[in-house]
């Protein structure tokens, strides 16, 4: 005999939460289905586990599944499972109250929150789960029977203040949740949740990898199973010859990341990679990992073999998707992968997060931060292994992603050393093959303590730059760095493996001090003598060119050119200066240092002419030409090209 229906009140906090769910928080109402399917999936897991541990439990677990049923006439959508089910007490406790600790204080904070964003942020700290049904339904009915018990329970509510609860006879084991849908008017984000195509789409998007089959009962009419929204109009047969419903499984259930690596074939990895990346080439590397313990997660990551076209566009997305227990949560999960690893694609499935978690919360979550740290280490370690064991593949990979990885040298100070190990750079050592920093260090000359490099727009310009001359002449290897990002990281990272980075276009270069034959006392005395000889001309030149340079001095880095421009150790390079200006930053003019080659015929002739008649007006013109050609030699821009050309042609005319 059925007991009478009881009407009970929701716990006060539950009522507040319901009001929030119904009225304010979500713009994306589709997620109610993800929540109900996730609950059903949990219930199936629990039943299977219990059937394994409790041998007395007499239940059939041979076909555990979830069914979605649509009744267009009644405007209902039912989510049914044959899982663990609930007792009457369970229903009152689990559905009628919010047992989670801290809920009350959280709700108080939500009420005080000034705006929707703040409320959203707070609500993301715990799942709204079952109650999300009230976003789309004005009445929800639940029927359930706990495995191992005989008595079923019916529960119903309109989500306002109360719910009813009653005994129900003849229920199968498991739970069914029936949503009496609000009218779909398209205005407040209510989709047409009775349409098969819509249900398919939501299941595909959020619940594709749920490990139990999610079946939809579709009426077997001529156009059943079509994916066209328009076809839905005709699913109601005009005559009374309704066929028996067909069951269609909506989800693929293939969560590769949840399977042990040994059980996944290369072909499966590849197919999965193609699905999530839309890249038809095989990935260069697959990383599959699992963490157990306090914070469980699985990660399946791929390093693509080539860069997407939009790798450097401002809004490229990061390639990692977040799942929680096989339920899709979000694409482009920036909390899990730093920007400089944005080319890595894949999935992270974290077990202990709320389905409702927001990007913001993830950013501040300590466990997520720890996961990210591990993922980054793993990716960098994998790249390192490739560099060691698959050098050719790695070289190709570096060509694709090297520029992005070098952003990490600026962004991620925790991994500077690992990133420096990965750097591959062109060098004067080999015209074809790039070098690693470690290889460079192994080749350093006795007594050389710095890693020499020169930045510039392209290899030819750097190689032919006057700054190179003495280094080439004395056999010092110089790294040729031509990516814009090189200007920035070399400015910020002091050293690799104890060897500082030294731009050959900056500071004083004293190759003579590097235990070399020239480092003798004799050579030093000769140098001092030369400085004294040139002193007058040098100081005259410095005042003549004062608008353009901050200093003129004799150089030890030139062998064939007459002059070159260098910066002080901490000055911006011209390229960096240009970059900052292009980004709209205001900078004071960066004046550089003009270095003269005291053995060059032009410099010695200028010296003599100045000595003979310091007032000759032609001297100032030669000074200007000297400065202009030094600028041109390093690929710089002349302040006044027309004037430079006129001075040059006049001078040539005189000599002919």
Nearest approach, Cβ of 11 to ligand ADP (angstroms)? Answer: 13
CB of 347 to ligand ADP, least distance (A): 21
Binding partner of residue 43 among ligand ADP, Mg ion, none, CB cut-off 5 to 8 Å per kind:
ligand ADP
Among residues 375, 213, 393, which one has the least CA distance to residue 304?
393
- Of 39-47, 397-405, 433-441, 491-499, which segment contacts Mg ion by CB under 5 A? 39-47
How far apart (Å, rounded) are the C-alpha atoms in residues 301 and 511? 47
Q: How far is CA 420 from the centre of its chain?
A: 19
Longest dimension (CA), the chain: 126
Residue corresponding to tokens 């009350």: 104
Applying the rule CB under 6 A, the residues between 60 and 119 that interact with ligand ADP are 81, 83-86, 94-95
Min CB(175)–ligand ADP separation in Å: 4
Closer residue to Mg ion, CB minimum distance, 129 or 628: 129
What DSSP designation does 567 have? B
Query: Binds 94, which of Mg ion, ligand ADP, none (CB < 5 to 8 A, cut-off by type)?
Result: ligand ADP
> Which residue, 183, 36, 17, 21, is CA-closest to 106?
17
Of residues 509, 653, 511, 624, the one with CA closest to residue 567: 509
Q: Which range touches ligand ADP (CB under 6 A), out of 38-46, 220-228, 427-435, 617-625?
A: 38-46
Does residue number 168 form part of the binding site for ligand ADP (CB under 6 A)? no
Selected binder of ligand ADP within 30, 35, 421, 477 (CB under 6 A): 35
Q: Can you point out the beta strands (E) in 336-471?
A: 345-350, 424-427, 430-436, 451-455
Report the partner that residue 353 touches, choosing among Mg ion, ligand ADP, none (CB closer than 5 to 8 A by kind). Answer: none
Q: Least distance (Å) from ligand ADP to the CB of residue 162?
A: 18
Least distance to ligand ADP, CB of residue 201, Å = 22
Q: In the chain, count of helices (H) and strands (E)? A: 20, 23
Size of the site for ligand ADP (CB under 6 A): 15
User: Which residue's CB is nearer to ligand ADP, number 82 or number 455?
Assistant: 82
515, 505 contact by CB (below 8 A): no
User: What does the DSSP 8-state code read for residue 535?
Assistant: H
Q: Say whether residue 152 binds Mg ion (CB under 5 A).
A: no
Contact with Mg ion (CB under 5 A) among 39, 103, 387, 561: 39
The entry of Mg ion, ligand ADP, none near residue 308 (CB within 5 to 8 angstroms by kind) is none
Binding mask of the shown chain, residues 109 to 138, with x at each position contacting Mg ion by CB under 5 A = --------------------x---------
Give me the helices (H) in 88-233, please: 88-90, 103-112, 116-123, 196-207
Stretch that binds ligand ADP, among 125-133, 194-202, 262-270, 334-342 (CB under 6 A): 125-133
Say whether 184 sits in a helix, a strand or coil: coil
Residue number with CB closer to ligand ADP (80 or 467): 80
User: Which residue of the chain is nearest ligand ADP when measured via CB?
Assistant: 129
Check residue 40 for interaction with ligand ADP (CB under 6 A): yes
409 in Cβ contact with 418 (< 8 Å): no
Judged by CB, which is closer to ligand ADP: 65, or 390? 65
User: For residues 336 and 372, is the Cβ–Cβ distance under 8 A?
Assistant: yes
Nearer CB in complex with ligand ADP: 324/537 = 324
Q: Binding partner of residue 486 among ligand ADP, Mg ion, none, CB under 5 to 8 Å per kind?
A: none
Nearer to ligand ADP (CB atom), residue 127 or residue 402: 127
DSSP state of 331: S
Distance CA 337, CA 530 (A): 57
Q: Which residues of 500-516 are buried (b: 16+ CB within 10 A; e: fewer)?
A: ebbbbbbeebebbebeb
Distance of closest approach, residue 78 Cβ to ligand ADP, in angstroms: 11
Q: Which is nearer to Mg ion, 32 or 193 (CB)?
A: 32
- Distant-in-sequence, close-in-space partners of 154: CB < 8 Å, separation ≥ 6: 141, 142, 143, 165, 166, 167, 168
175: partner contacted, choices Mg ion, ligand ADP, none (Cβ within 5-8 A by kind)? ligand ADP
Alpha-carbon span 202 to 283, nearest angstrom? 28
Contact 565, 477 (CB under 8 A): no
Beta carbons within 10 angstroms of residue 34's beta carbon: 23
> For ligand ADP, which residue of 26, 32, 130, 302 counts as binding (CB under 6 A)?
130
* Cα–Cα distance, 162 to 8 (Å, whole number): 6
Judged by the rule CB under 5 A, the positions of this chain that interact with Mg ion are: 39, 129
Judged by the rule CB under 6 A, the positions of this chain that interact with ligand ADP are: 35, 39-40, 43, 81, 83-86, 94-95, 127, 129-130, 175
């Amino acid at each position: 005999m059925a007991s009478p229906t009881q009407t009970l009140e929701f716990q006060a906090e539950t009522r507040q939460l319901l009001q929030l769910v119904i009225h304010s928080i979500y713009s994306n109402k589709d997620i109610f289905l993800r929540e109900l399917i996730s609950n059903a999936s949990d219930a199936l897991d629990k039943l299977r586990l219990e059937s394994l541990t409790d041998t007395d439990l007499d239940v059939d677990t041979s076909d555990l599944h979830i069914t979605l049923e649509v009744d267009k006439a009644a405007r209902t959508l039912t989510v049914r499972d044959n899982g663990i089910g609930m007792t009457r007490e369970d229903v009152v406790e689990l559905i009628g109250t919010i047992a989670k600790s801290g809920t009350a204080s959280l709700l108080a904070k939500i009420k005080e929150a000034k705006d929707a964003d703040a409320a959203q942020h707070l609500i993301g700290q715990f799942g709204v789960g079952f109650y999300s049904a009230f976003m789309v339904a004005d009445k929800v009915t639940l029927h359930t029977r706990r495995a191992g018990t005989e008595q079923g329970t019916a529960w119903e509510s309109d989500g306002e203040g109360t719910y009813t609860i009653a005994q129900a006879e003849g229920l199968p084991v498991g739970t069914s949740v029936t949503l009496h849908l609000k009218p779909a008017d398209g205005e407040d984000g209510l989709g047409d949740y009775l349409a098969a195509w819509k249900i398919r789409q939501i299941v595909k998007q959020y619940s594709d990898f749920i490990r139990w089959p999610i079946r939809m009962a579709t009426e077997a009419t001529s156009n059943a199973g079509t994916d066209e929204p328009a076809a839905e109009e005709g699913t109601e047969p005009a005559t009374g010859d309704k066929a028996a419903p067909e069951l269609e499984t909506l989800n693929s259930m293939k969560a590769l990341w949840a399977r042990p690596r040994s059980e996944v074939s290369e072909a499966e990895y590849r197919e999965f990679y193609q699905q999530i990346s839309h890249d038809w080439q095989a990935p260069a590397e697959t990383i599959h990992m699992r963490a157990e313990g306090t914070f469980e997660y699985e990660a399946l990551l791929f390093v693509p073999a080539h860069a997407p076209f939009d790798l450097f566009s401002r809004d490229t997305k990061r390639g990692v998707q977040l799942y929680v227990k096989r339920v899709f949560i979000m694409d482009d999960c920036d909390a899990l992968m730093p920007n400089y690893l944005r080319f890595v694609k894949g999935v992270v499935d974290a077990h202990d997060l709320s389905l409702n978690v927001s990007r913001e919360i993830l950013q501040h979550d300590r466990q997520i931060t720890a996961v990210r740290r591990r993922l980054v280490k793993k990716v960098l370690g994998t790249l390192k292994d490739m560099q060691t064991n698959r050098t050719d593949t790695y070289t190709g990979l570096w060509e694709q992603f090297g520029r992005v990885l070098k952003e990490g040298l600026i962004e991620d100070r925790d991994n500077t050393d690992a990133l420096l190990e990965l750097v591959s750079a062109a060098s004067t050592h080999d015209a074809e093959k790039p070098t690693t920093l470690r290889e460079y260090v192994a080749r350093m000359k006795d007594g050389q303590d710095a890693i020499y490099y020169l930045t510039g727009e392209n290899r030819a310009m750097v190689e032919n730059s006057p700054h190179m001359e003495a280094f080439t002449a004395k056999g010092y290897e110089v790294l040729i760095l031509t990516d814009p990002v090189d200007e920035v990281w070399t400015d910020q990272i002091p050293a690799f493996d104890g060897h500082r980075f030294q731009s050959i276009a900056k500071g004083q270069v004293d190759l003579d001090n590097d235990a070399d034959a020239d480092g003798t006392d004799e050579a030093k005395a000769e140098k001092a003598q030369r400085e004294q000889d040139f002193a007058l001309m040098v100081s005259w030149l410095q005042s003549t060119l004062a608008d353009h340079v901050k200093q003129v001095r004799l150089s030890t880095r030139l062998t064939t050119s007459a002059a070159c421009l260098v910066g002080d150790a901490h000055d911006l390079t011209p390229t960096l200066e240009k970059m900052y200006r292009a980004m709209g930053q205001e900078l004071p003019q960066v004046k550089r240092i003009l270095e003269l080659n005291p053995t060059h015929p032009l410099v010695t002739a200028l010296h003599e002419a100045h000595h003979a008649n310091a007032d000759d007006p032609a001297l100032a013109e030669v000074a200007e030409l000297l400065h202009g050609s030094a600028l041109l030699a390093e690929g710089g821009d002349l302040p006044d090209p027309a004037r430079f050309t006129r001075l040059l042609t006049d001078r040539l005319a005189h000599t002919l």
